[in-house]
Structure 1
Amino acid sequence: MIFMRRIVPALTVSALALLALAACQKPAEPAQPAAAAQTDTGKAPAAAPADAAPNPLEPPARVLRNDAIGYDGFNGGTEAGAVTARFGADAAAVRGAWGGEMKDNNGQRPDAKCYLLYPVRGAITHQYGFLMGADGLSGIDVYDPKALAPGGGRIGMSIDEINKAYPGKVKQIPNPSFEGAAFLQVSPPDGKDTQLVFETDALGSVTNWRIGKRGAIEPDESCTR
């Protein structure tokens, strides 16, 4: 019994040593490529997500030139510098120049001397407002950050950037409705009877701009409500 107790541990240690040596000497299997590992599942690879199908009930987006609005009016065409609805044009001419669906708020204030024509896409109000006065198209409000005002101004610019774009031509007027906000009036080129105005928030960033005939709409007249 004493002899057996000494032999069994010795054999066990030797067997373990041989197994460890065999494991160290076994050549490593080549790594499988990542692509093969992903496709070796019997399943087809997942397809890339497809673009959302257009809504057949929603009209297509209206593509405009970013310089479509100038001192003479609106350019609804593709030719640079063209004017398809000049200031003074009637509602039918403005609608034709836009070329898409437009609504108006003419019935909201029957006593008003002006009203707003605004393009829509489905249930979405577009980022332009065409101000119609007694003498036709009087001004255009712009809330589209891609649109460039004549001279290069746009939404998002600071007051300093507007002053650099129109050196010596900007008159800053406090906005009485919002503390810290301002109107930046730009002197028009010689021979133009239209006014370009940028509106800023209290931080001095342009939020929207308007170009229109000077004096065509009284300051206290609102066409948008």
Structure 2
Amino acid sequence: MKQLGSVLALAIVLALGGCARSPETPSKDADAAAPAPTPTPTPTAPAAGAAPDQGAAAGSDAAAAATGPARLDGYGPVALGSTLEQVQAAWKEPLQGEVPDDYCHALRPQGAQADDVVFMIEGKRLVRYDVRNDRIVAPGGGKVGMSLGQLQTLYPDRGDVTAHKYDEKGHNLRVRPATEGGALINFEIGGDGNVTAWRVGQTPQVDYVEGCS
């Protein structure tokens, strides 16, 4: 009987040992099913040929005007209000034009084209300058060839439209100074609606229609 009891006890131990299992190791298939980490997006550079910044483009004309020779306080190295001697010394190159004993006359840089800048001297001082070409930009961006609408965009708050003395279809845009006592700009606009000339000067000289008169 002892032998039979021992055999039964051994059988029970073996049966219990077969039921015990070690923890399962994750399979390779399980690793493949796990979601992969989401990659961080990499910033991309603007595509070649992309449209330029519109704000920068809009400011290009203003920048060109700011660095050009025409200013509200003068032209190139000369300043409005300078004496005739100061103008001649500052310009350095010869200035052509009669220098009569009368009160007003015009000076033109030697060798300049007919439509280049002309200086008005009155009372032996520079009081105004005139331009009749599209190569020189007026203070604020206006120039010969522009329409009245373009000028009014450039000078929205200070431009007054006045009648042209000789052209019934033409007119002027008189741009008032931003500060009291400053110079004015007068744009002459022909019957076709485009600027033919402009001038910068003090009052009353900026309003002279026929040169010194």
TM-score, length-normalised on structure 2?
0.62
Shift of 1:126: 5.7
Which one of the candidate residues 154, 165, 169 is aligned to 1:180? Answer: 169
Matched residue, 1:171: 160
Matched, 1:119 2:112: no
Q: Does the 8 Å contact 1:130/1:140 carry over to 2?
A: yes
RMSD value, Cα:
2.4
Higher-helix-fraction structure: 2
Matched residue, 2:78: 85
Matched, 1:190 2:176: no
TM-score, length-normalised on structure 1?
0.59
Q: Which moved more, 1:66-75 or 1:134-143?
A: 66-75
Q: Distance in 1 between matches of 2:146 and 2:210?
A: 27
Shift of 1:220: 6.5
Matched residue, 2:74: 73
Which one of the candidate residues 89, 97, 106 is aligned to 1:96? Answer: 89
Q: Does the 8 Å contact 1:119/1:126 carry over to 2?
A: no
Q: Distance in 2 between matches of 1:188 and 1:218?
A: 14
Percent identity between matched residues is 25
Q: Does the 8 Å contact 1:152/1:165 carry over to 2?
A: yes
Q: Distance in 2 between matches of 1:120 and 1:211?
A: 21
Q: Distance in 1 between matches of 2:149 and 2:210?
A: 30
The residue identity in structure 1 corresponding to 2:179 is D
Shift of 1:130: 0.3
1:180-206 CA distances to partner (integer Å, 9 max, x unpaired)? Answer: 121110121124421111111111100
Q: Does the 8 Å contact 1:113/1:133 carry over to 2?
A: yes
Matched, 1:132 2:106: no
Aligned length: 148
Matched residue, 1:147: 136
SS at the partner of 2:110?
strand
Matched residue, 1:106: 99
1:109-138 CA distances to partner (integer Å, 9 max, x unpaired)? Answer: x5x52100111318x446110000115000
- Cα 1:140–1:221 change in 2 (3 A) is same
Q: Distance in 2 between matches of 1:96 and 1:125?
A: 23
Name the larger-Rg structure.
Answer: 2
SS at the partner of 1:146?
coil
Q: Distance in 2 between matches of 1:135 and 1:183?
A: 28
Q: Does the 8 Å contact 1:102/1:117 carry over to 2?
A: yes
Q: Distance in 1 between matches of 2:84 and 2:128?
A: 12
Structure 1 residues without counterparts, runs of 5 or longer: 1-64, 76-83
Shift of 1:161: 0.3
Shift of 1:145: 1.0
Matched, 1:159 2:152: no
Q: Distance in 2 between matches of 1:67 and 1:193?
A: 19
Q: Distance in 2 between matches of 1:96 and 1:134?
A: 18
